[in-house]
A = this chain, B = another copy of it.
Amino acid sequence: MSKPLNIAMIGYGFMGRAHSNAYANVSHYFDLPYKPVLKAVCARDKSKAEAFAAQWGYESVETDWKKLLERKDIDAVDICTPNNLHKEISIAAAKAGKAILCEKPLAMNVAEGEEMCDAVEKAGVANTVWYNYRRIPAVTFAKQLIDEGKLGRVFHYRANFLQDWTISADLPQGGAALWRLDAAAAGSGVTGDLLAHCIDTALWLNGSIKNVSAMTETFIKERKHTLTGKVEKVTIDDACTFMGRFENGSLALFESTRYARGHKALYTFEINGENASIKWDLHDLHRLQFFDYRDAGPLRGWRSIHVTDGDHPYMKHWWVPGLSIGYECGFVHQVADFITGMAAGKPVGPTFRDALETQKVCDAVLASAKSGAWTEV
């Protein structure tokens, strides 16, 4: 019989919903030592917090996260605030001895991230950052294939995350709904929002990145700010591209943008190895494309593997072969693994420390884009 794991959610936005879905459903599909209990949701706007609590079944509501952290009936805190609050809340939660599940990117910059890592490690609390794509079954399967040595020496890793939702010049910036367009709240634009996902996956699949040469662009220079009501300079990067070199000698080519008309949320990566190559695309999230040079010559081809069989990662817990699960599954799987790790006393990646490595690449990318020079990570 599972023991309860009392969860407190801070924030109620898009990610608050995705995480809540994971807590609400993980026990339906996975047999785990702990069962999440939706104990409290915290937000400054009480009526919004109450509506969110009613919809998801949170037992109580708080409006002050500091008070929330004082509660003894909370085991774990989920931080879904804008990025500029991650550090303060995380450090306080660590001091309060709470397990922490923090939205990505870890922090506004490396310096903040290092403080946060120190805090959770000193406090000895379980911690993770929501780089959810690692646990899409096709992506986890890619990791398996790499760990089995299927690729051989790697030559190329390319990834892009393309969106198109900010092209209109009429879109404002800032405020509760659009804080991702305001560097004061978000730290950066697509670099922290989209590219960070690509980097996390890449570090996990292909090891460290040594150095980068980057380029950023802000296509729309001014937008009305929601908080001030005035047209103000846009402070985020609309697009960010970099080249680089991994420690294993392979070449990196990464791109992220919100100005790729026709792509709602196209996250794609491809790895070319000596013996085999792998491709994945968020729009067809259950397919892994796999090319194996060791197949008989005339029969070589990209295999479109529908990663929905019982012997694919996580899939025996769901439906039957051929039936897909949604984007939200990655969060469910992360909770399942996090709980398993907590019970075993073993950290499960991506930890704060893992996410700090991604932050280091992001900072190097932004520095290179500013200086125009190749930059060491």
A-side residues, CB < 8 A to B, are 14, 17-18, 20-21, 24-25, 27-28, 55-56, 141, 155-156, 158, 162-165, 167, 213-215, 217, 219, 239, 241-243, 245, 249, 251, 253, 255, 257, 259-266, 272-277, 282-285, 288, 290-293, 295, 297-309, 311-312, 318-329, 372-374
Contact check, A260 vs B156: say whether CB atoms are below 8 A apart. Answer: yes
- Copy total for this chain: 4
Contact check, A260 vs B155: say whether CB atoms are below 8 A apart. Answer: yes
Give which listed residue, B55, B164, B241, B293, contacts A253 with CB less than 8 A: B241
Give which listed residue, B55, B158, B260, B298, contacts A27 with CB less than 8 A: B55
Contact check, A217 vs B320: say whether CB atoms are below 8 A apart. Answer: no
Contact check, A327 vs B327: say whether CB atoms are below 8 A apart. Answer: no
Residues of B contacting A304 in the complex (Cβ-Cβ under 8 angstroms): 301-304
Residues of B contacting A215 in the complex (Cβ-Cβ under 8 angstroms): 213, 243, 245, 251
Contact check, A303 vs B306: say whether CB atoms are below 8 A apart. Answer: no
Query: Nearest chain-B residue to A150 (Cβ)?
Result: B299
Contact check, B141 vs A298: say whether CB atoms are below 8 A apart. Answer: yes
Residues of B contacting A319 in the complex (Cβ-Cβ under 8 angstroms): 14, 18, 326-328
Contact check, B155 vs A257: say whether CB atoms are below 8 A apart. Answer: yes
Contact check, B261 vs A275: say whether CB atoms are below 8 A apart. Answer: yes
Interface centre among A303, A329, A374 (most CB of B within 10 A): A303
Residues of B contacting A28 in the complex (Cβ-Cβ under 8 angstroms): 17, 20-21, 24, 55-56
Nearest-neighbour CB distance to chain B for A189, whole angstroms, equals 14
Residues of B contacting A301 in the complex (Cβ-Cβ under 8 angstroms): 288, 290, 303-306
Complex: A34 Cα to B297 Cα, angstroms: 32
Residues of B contacting A27 in the complex (Cβ-Cβ under 8 angstroms): 55
Residues of B contacting A318 in the complex (Cβ-Cβ under 8 angstroms): 326
Complex: A253 Cα to B240 Cα, angstroms: 11
Nearest-neighbour CB distance to chain B for A160, whole angstroms, equals 8
Contact check, A298 vs B311: say whether CB atoms are below 8 A apart. Answer: yes
Residues of B contacting A299 in the complex (Cβ-Cβ under 8 angstroms): 290, 292, 303, 305
Complex: A110 Cα to B171 Cα, angstroms: 45
Using known A-B contacts A155-B219, A239-B155, A241-B243, determine if residue A322 contacts B283 with beta carbons closer than 8 Å: yes
Complex: A75 Cα to B239 Cα, angstroms: 51
Using known A-B contacts A141-B298, A215-B251, A261-B277, determine if residue A285 contacts B324 with beta carbons closer than 8 Å: yes
Nearest-neighbour CB distance to chain B for A350, whole angstroms, equals 20
Nearest-neighbour CB distance to chain B for A95, whole angstroms, equals 32
Contact check, B14 vs A259: say whether CB atoms are below 8 A apart. Answer: no
Give which listed residue, B21, B156, B163, B260, contacts A239 with CB less than 8 A: B156
Contact check, B158 vs A255: say whether CB atoms are below 8 A apart. Answer: yes
Query: Nearest chain-B residue to A163 (Cβ)?
Result: B322
Query: Nearest chain-B residue to A158 (Cβ)?
Result: B255
Query: Nearest chain-B residue to A374 (Cβ)?
Result: B372
Complex: A322 Cα to B268 Cα, angstroms: 13
Complex: A239 Cα to B251 Cα, angstroms: 9
Query: Nearest chain-B residue to A264 (Cβ)?
Result: B322
Nearest-neighbour CB distance to chain B for A65, whole angstroms, equals 23
Using known A-B contacts A141-B298, A219-B155, A302-B304, determine if residue A264 contacts B321 with beta carbons closer than 8 Å: yes
Complex: A372 Cα to B212 Cα, angstroms: 11
Residues of B contacting A322 in the complex (Cβ-Cβ under 8 angstroms): 163, 263-266, 282-283
